[in-house]
Structure 1
Amino acid sequence: MADLTFYTHPHSRGRIVRWMLEELGVPYDVKLLEYGASMKAPEYLAINPMGKVPAIKHGDTVVTEVSAICAYLADQFPEKKLAPPSGSKLRGTYYRWLFFVAGPLEMAATCKAFGWDISDESAVSVGCGHYQDAIDAMVLALANGPYICGEQFTAADVLAGSFIGWGIMQKTLEPLPAFTEYLARVDGREAAKRANELDDALIKQD
């Protein structure tokens, strides 16, 4: 029995956390949940009252929300070097773009997916600004590559790579050269391949 339990479904953001776990290479147990059934059962609502996946339980600590899970895991296993050291110049860059992806970029892509127009007036108040503002900012984040923190691959790349790949597939993000070149680097990682294989195998079993 591992000290780390991963609650997921292969058709969910759990795929991002799966990739993070495979990058860490630590043992973990998997609890596969079903939409509208075990995800809404009292047992799981005690873990995540939103009734959504993913979530993790690490000892007695429960963490939900993909960006929080990735940041937490990187900090819990510092020897895996999936976050710049605390106090380093890159720590702020890491946090900046990790949470930019989870906030403004996802919001902008969601607005595009649902056809929600962000007017000039509302863009001042909306966290993502105009759609193109968020896209331009993400391109800037990748400009000093190969990774968001330069030469160091981090949890921010797990999140950004997953989200950009999904966005292009769903046509909420354009396949800009900055995005496709970045994806070619991160998607080729052995941990990313393993994670996809594990989740794809669960889909086949379903």
Structure 2
Amino acid sequence: MTKPVLYTCARSRGLRATWAAEEAGVDIDLNILPFPPRYLAPEYLELNPLGTVPLLVDGETRMTESCAIAHYLATREGFTPLAIAPGERDYGEYCDYTYHADATITFPQTVYMRFAIFEKDKGWAEAGHAYAKWFHKRLVKVEQRLEGREYLCADRFTVADICVGYALILAESVGLDEGVPQSLKDYRARLTAREAYQRAFAREEAGRQALAR
């Protein structure tokens, strides 16, 4: 099997993929790009015309969706405990929360970041803060799911936790933490204490620091 190559920016949604690789023991070639790569690494557009991160290249396989990449890496050589197989308990919930992470939770975060952080000089900050409230309201499904549970599905850590957990990690880093319930902050702390997460974060930070030299 060829060695997968992951192109991403440190602390971006690509962290889901880096983290999944560490959890699954998949050896990836990690390429950290400056942010935003479409402007600061224009040659990247030859690999990914969208200019978005992450991008996983694994032989003929090319993927650009962070949650899909995380699932792919967890099942690349067959199902592992990081994924839930068809017929197994919580299979439907596993699929649902893995997709829910980006489609429902991360989406309002990215709009908030654009309006309230990246383009706040254009006078759109108020719209950004409206999306912040939207994000906080959308946490209720995860909050209720975790009542009496340590992890989202099948009483074990899975890719669903990686995908949802990243949204909570992002919330802390972009100033959205005030509206995050304490139970979800505790859940986030459990996830980020994992050795594989610590390794993934360290790898990305090393790449980011190398760009600054």
> Structure 2 length as normaliser, TM-score?
0.79
Q: Between Structure 1 and Structure 2, how many residues are aligned?
A: 195
**Residue aligning to 1:167:** 171
Q: Distance in 2 between matches of 1:31 and 1:140?
A: 37
SS in 1 for 2:6: strand
- Residue of 168, 193, 199 corresponding to 1:188: 193
Instruction: Give the structure 1 partner of residue 202 of structure 2.
Output: 197
Return the alpha-carbon distance in structure 2 between the equivalents of residues 9 and 47 of structure 1. 15
Report how far residue 10 of structure 1 moved.
1.8
Conserved in 1, the CA contact under 8 Å of 2:21 and 2:74?
A: no
Residue aligning to 2:58: 58
Equivalent in the alignment of 1:104: 104
* Higher relative contact order, chain-length normalized (CA < 8 Å, sep 6+): 2
Identity across aligned pairs (percent)?
A: 27
Q: Is residue 144 of structure 2 the alignment partner of residue 140 of structure 1?
A: yes
Segments of structure 2 that go 5 or more residues without pairing to the other structure are 116-125
Alignment RMSD: 2.6
Q: Which secondary structure state, in structure 2, belongs to the residue aligned with residue 80 of structure 1? A: coil
Cα drift, residue 117 of structure 1: 7.5
Deviations 1:141-169 (A, max 9, x none): 32242111142111111111121011123
Q: Which moved more, 1:97-106 or 1:10-19?
A: 10-19
Structure 2 contact 2–59 (Cα < 8 Å) conserved: no
- Asked if structure 2 preserves the Cα contact closer than 8 Å seen for 1:97 and 1:141, the reply is no
Superposed CA offset, 1:72-100 (max 9, x none): 22232334321111222311101111111
Q: Give the letter aligned to residue 178 of structure 1.
A: S
State the SS of the aligned residue for 2:127. Answer: coil
In structure 2, relative to structure 1, the CA distance for the partners of 1:144 and 1:90 (3 Å cut) is: farther
Partner of 1:31: 31
What is the deviation of 1:137? Answer: 1.6
Which position in structure 2 is the counterpart of 1:116? 127
